[in-house]
């Protein structure tokens, strides 16, 4: 099994999220998606999502290629998650390019090209 992990808020789920998750899964055989909790969004990411955590979880759970969903509660949990879940590949959009290179001591790190012209911020309008 090749295990991939990714992180995000995935608010107002859109095709940019779908294409990212689809490509993340294609890097391996098992995909864990860590979804930011409402508290983490509010207190650390300074982001107020339109959909709450359980709504965002419900949407991503419905994707048949997603194998595991886990809450993202802090910036610092990634190393622990990678170790605990025996992850081989950390994948995320290239808006984060370089930011997670420190994880290369634990697994492969892959920045996937972002889909143009769509974002939660655009859809939410704030």
Residues forming contacts to ligand CTP in the complex (CB under 6 A) are 8-10, 16-17, 20, 47, 92-93, 95, 114-115, 118-121
Is 47 among the catalytic positions? yes
Q: Name the residue nearer to ligand CTP (CB basis): 16 or 28.
A: 16
Closest to ligand CTP by CB, 3 or 34 = 34
Active-site option among 3, 25, 42, 47: 47
* Residue 82 near residue 90, CB atoms below 8 Å: yes
Smallest distance from ligand CTP to CB 61, Å: 16
Catalytic residue among 42, 45, 97, 99: 45
| Residue closer to ligand CTP, measured from CB, 5 or 20 | 20
Lookup: tokens for 27: 């890097």
> How many CB atoms neighbour CB 50 within 10 A?
13
- CB closest to ligand CTP, residue no: 93
Q: Other C-beta atoms within 10 Å of 99: how many? A: 11
The HSE-up count of residue 80 (CA atoms within 13 Å, CB side) is 9
| Least distance in angstroms from the C-beta of 123 to ligand CTP | 8
Burial class (CB in 10 A: 0-12, 13-18, 19+), 95: exposed
What minimum distance in Å lies between the beta carbon of 125 and ligand CTP? 11
Closest Cα partner for 74 from 119, 123, 114, 40?
A: 40
Q: Looking at the annotation, which residues are catalytic? A: 45, 47
């Amino acid at each position: 099994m090749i295990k991939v992990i990714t992180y995000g808020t995935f608010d107002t789920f859109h095709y940019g999220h779908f294409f990212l998750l689809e490509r993340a899964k294609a890097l391996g055989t098992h995909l864990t998606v860590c979804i930011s909790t409402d508290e983490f969004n509010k207190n650390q990411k300074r982001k107020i999502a339109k959909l709450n955590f359980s709504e965002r979880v419900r949407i991503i759970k419905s994707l048949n290629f997603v194998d595991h969903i886990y809450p993202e509660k802090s910036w610092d949990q990634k190393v622990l998650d990678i170790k605990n879940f025996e992850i081989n590949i950390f994948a995320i959009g290239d808006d984060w390019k370089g930011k997670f290179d420190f994880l290369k001591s634990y697994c492969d790190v892959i920045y996937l090209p972002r889909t143009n012209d769509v974002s939660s911020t655009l859809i939410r309008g704030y």
